[in-house]
C-alpha cells in the first residue's frame, strides 16, 4: 500500500496554494523590495522533528523565480534537532518573501504528520503490527499528507473510495446485516484490492468470518477484546490469510497494547487530522 503524486499534479497543487495566498499581488513586498534585489533564506528547526516536504518547500520558490538555488542538506525522513538548518535558498528577495508563508505552512504541516507518525511507529517497535493512516485528511492535501505518513515510517490505507471495499456500520445497517453486505461485496472480488468489514463485537465477527473477507476491522474495541477477536480469527484462519485491523480510541499511550494484542494493522486517524504543525522558521537576509 503506497501513495504517490506525479510532478505535474504536485505543481498544480503548489500553484493553487500560491494563487490563494497572493491574490492580485503581494502589494507589501512589491512596494518595499526592489525587483532586482537578491536574498538568502535559511530554514531552521526550532524543535526536534522529522522532516517531510523539503523538496516541495524549495519548489514553491522555483515557481516564483526559476533562478532559485536550493542547498538541501537534510532530506525527508531525517530527524532534526533544534537549530539545525536543512535547507538554504538563494533567490529573488521578492520571491522569498512572497512564497514564504505557503512554503513554510506546507513544510510545517507535512513534517508534523511525519513526526507524529514516527512516534506511533516507535511505540510499537518489535511487534508485527503496522501503523496505517485513514481518509481523515485535509481536503486537497490527501496525497501530500499520505506521503508524509510514509516518510514517518507508517503505511497508507485506501487512497480513495475506489481502491478497496470497506464496509462500515452504516453500510451494514443499510444492507440489512453483515452477511448481506459481504455477499453483495463479492461482486467486486478481483477488482478491489481487498474487501474489508468493520465489526464491533464478537457476534458480528463470527458472522463476518463465515464469508472470509480479506480484512476484518475491529472497531472501538479495547485491547482485551481485540486480543479475543484476533484469537478467534486465527482459529478460523490458521494460515493468516485474513488480516485484522484495530481502529478507534487509539493513542500513543495505548497503541502498544493494541499491537501486542496481535493485530496486523492499526489505523490512526490522528496522524493526519490531529498532528500539530512543527516549529520551523524561515529567516531571510540580503544576499
Based on the fold, state whether residues 234 and 281 are members of the same structural domain: no
In a domain, 87, yes or no: yes
In a domain, residue 128? The reply is no
| One domain for residues 20 and 110 | yes
Q: Is residue 202 part of a domain?
A: yes
Considering 40, 90, 101, 206, which one is annotated as catalytic?
Answer: 101
Whether 235 and 251 map to the same domain: the answer is yes
Does the pLDDT value for residue 39 go beyond 60?
A: yes
74 and 97 share one domain: yes
Whether 101 is catalytic is: yes
Residue 253 lies in a domain: yes
Task: Tell me: do 103 and 209 sit in the same domain.
Answer: no
Residues 13 and 117 in one domain: yes
Residue 2, pLDDT above cutoff 50? no
Any domain includes 207: yes
Cβ-contact 92, 287 below 8 angstroms: no
- State whether the Cα torsion 227-228-229-233 is positive or negative: positive
Q: Give me the pLDDT at residue 73, please.
A: 97
Contact 222, 250 (CB under 8 A): no
User: 153 lies in a domain?
Assistant: no
Catalytic-role residue among 196, 198, 204, 245: 198
- The per-residue pLDDT for range 141-173, each reduced to its tens digit, is 999 999 999 999 999 999 999 999 999 999 999
Does residue 168 have an active-site annotation? yes
Structural domain containing residue 249: 164-268
DSSP assignment string, 251-285: -TTTHHHHHHTT-SEEE-THHHHSPPPP-EEEEEE
CATH number for 224? 3.20.20.70
Whole-number Å distance between alpha carbons of 100 and 97: 5
Residue 81, CA atoms < 13 Å, CB-side half-sphere: 0
> Do 95 and 172 lie in a common domain?
no
Does residue 135 sit within a domain? no
Q: Which three three-digit cell numbers place residue 16?
A: 493553487
Give the mean pLDDT of 175-199. 96
Section 126-138 average pLDDT: 97
Looking at the structure, do residues 12 and 109 belong to the same domain, yes or no?
A: yes
* pTM of structure: 0.95
**117 plus 12 within the same structural domain:** yes
14 and 117 assigned to the same domain = yes
Confidence of residue 8 (pLDDT cuts 50, 70, 90): confident
Task: For residue 136, indicate whether it is catalytic.
Answer: yes
pLDDT tier at 4, thresholds 50, 70, 90: low
Q: Percentage of the chain surpassing pLDDT 90? A: 96
How high is the pLDDT of residue 5?
62
Residue 3's pLDDT is 46
* Domain CATH code at residue 54: 3.90.1170.20
- Domain co-membership, 110 together with 12: yes
> Which residue among the candidates 219, 245, 256, 264 is catalytic per the annotation?
219
Active site residue 198: yes
- Please indicate whether residue 71 is annotated as part of the active site: no
Over range 91-100, report the average pLDDT: 98
Query: What's residue 269's pLDDT?
Result: 98
User: Is residue 262 a part of any domain in this protein?
Assistant: yes
Domain count of the chain? Answer: 2
Q: Are residues 206 and 282 in the same domain?
A: no
74, 90, 135, 136: the catalytic one is 136
CA angle, corner 212, sides to 208 and 213, nearest 5?
Answer: 80
Amino acid at each position: 500500500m503506497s501513495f504517490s503524486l506525479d510532478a505535474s499534479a504536485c505543481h498544480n497543487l503548489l500553484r493553487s496554494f500560491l494563487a490563494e495566498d497572493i491574490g492580485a499581488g503581494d502589494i507589501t513586498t512589491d512596494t518595499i523590495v526592489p525587483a532586482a534585489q537578491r536574498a538568502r533564506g535559511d530554514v531552521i528547526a526550532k524543535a526536534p522533528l522529522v522532516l517531510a516536504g523539503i523538496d516541495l518547500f524549495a519548489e514553491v520558490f522555483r515557481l516564483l523565480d526559476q533562478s532559485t538555488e536550493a542547498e538541501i542538506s537534510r532530506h525527508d525522513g531525517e530527524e532534526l534537532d533544534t537549530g539545525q538548518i536543512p535547507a538554504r535558498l538563494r533567490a529573488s528577495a521578492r520571491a522569498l518573501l512572497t512564497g514564504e508563508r505557503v512554503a513554510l505552512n506546507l513544510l510545517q504541516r507535512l513534517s508534523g504528520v511525519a513526526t507524529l507518525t514516527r512516534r506511533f511507529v516507535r511505540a510499537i517497535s518489535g511487534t508485527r503490527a503496522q501503523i496505517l493512516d485513514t481518509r481523515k485528511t485535509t481536503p486537497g492535501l490527501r496525497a501530500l499528507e499520505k506521503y508524509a505518513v510514509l516518510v514517518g515510517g507508517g503505511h497508507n490505507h485506501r487512497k480513495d473510495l475506489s481502491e478497496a471495499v470497506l464496509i462500515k456500520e452504516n453500510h451494514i445497517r443499510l444492507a440489512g446485516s453483515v452477511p448481506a453486505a459481504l455477499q453483495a461485496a463479492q461482486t467486486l472480488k478481483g477488482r478491489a484490492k481487498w474487501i474489508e468489514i468493520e465489526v464491533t463485537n464478537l457476534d458480528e465477527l463470527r458472522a463476518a468470518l463465515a464469508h472470509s473477507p480479506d480484512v476484518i476491522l475491529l472497531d472501538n474495541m479495547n485491547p482485551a477484546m481485540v486480543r479475543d477477536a484476533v484469537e478467534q480469527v486465527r482459529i478460523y484462519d490458521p494460515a493468516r490469510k485474513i488480516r485484522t485491523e484495530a481502529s478507534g480510541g487509539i493513542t500513543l499511550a495505548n497503541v502498544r497494547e493494541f499491537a501486542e494484542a496481535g493485530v496486523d494493522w492499526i489505523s490512526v486517524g490522528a496522524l493526519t487530522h490531529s498532528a500539530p504543525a512543527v516549529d520551523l522558521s524561515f529567516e531571510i537576509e540580503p544576499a
